[in-house]
Amino acid sequence: MLHVSDLPPDLQARLGGRDLIVFDGVCVLCSGFFRFVLRHDRAGRFAFVTAQSQLGTALYAALGLPTTEYETNLVIVEGRIHRHAGAFAAAMGALGWPWRLAAPIGLMPRWLTTPAYLLIARNRYRLFGRHDSCMVPPPDLRARFLAGGWS
């Protein structure tokens, strides 16, 4: 598992120690995940970044992930970087009751969850659709996005 401390120092500083969700801003499914977390994150624990933004692209590149096809959301909780089904599980666990009931998905074997996750991820636009452009957060939500976190 990767940690924020494994990232270059400039990226670590830009993250500012926040728990973070990086999502594909044009994907209807991924944007729905963002809206779900935003609605249920009553404590304001998570900050957000779109994958297509300057910061999102820098994070994907630093993690050795493709910067043109964003097939995984990234979720950072308590300095640990999660991806694939583990990202969903980490986010749900951090939201608290009743959403933490979904967190055991992260305990399932990766040989099972990763192919299933990637099957959906690779077909997400066809199955769920896509927006013409990345969302630009309205002024009341901009404080929840890290600087350079939307395109």
16 Cα distance to chain centroid: 16
Contact 30, 102 (CB under 8 A): no
Cis ω for the linkage preceding 98 (within 30 of 0) = yes
First to last CA, the chain: 28
95 Cα distance to chain centroid: 14
pLDDT on residue 41: 94
Torsion of CA 100, 128, 114, 136, to 10 degrees: -70
- Low-confidence stretches of the chain (pLDDT < 70) are 1, 104, 106-108, 135, 148-151
pLDDT on residue 104: 63
Is pTM beyond 0.75? Reply is yes
Q: Which tokens sit at 133? A: 């452009």
Which residues are within 8 A (CB) of 115 and not within 5 positions of it... i.e. 6 or more apart?
none
Contact 51, 62 (CB under 8 A): no
Cα–Cα distance, 149 to 151 (Å, whole number): 7
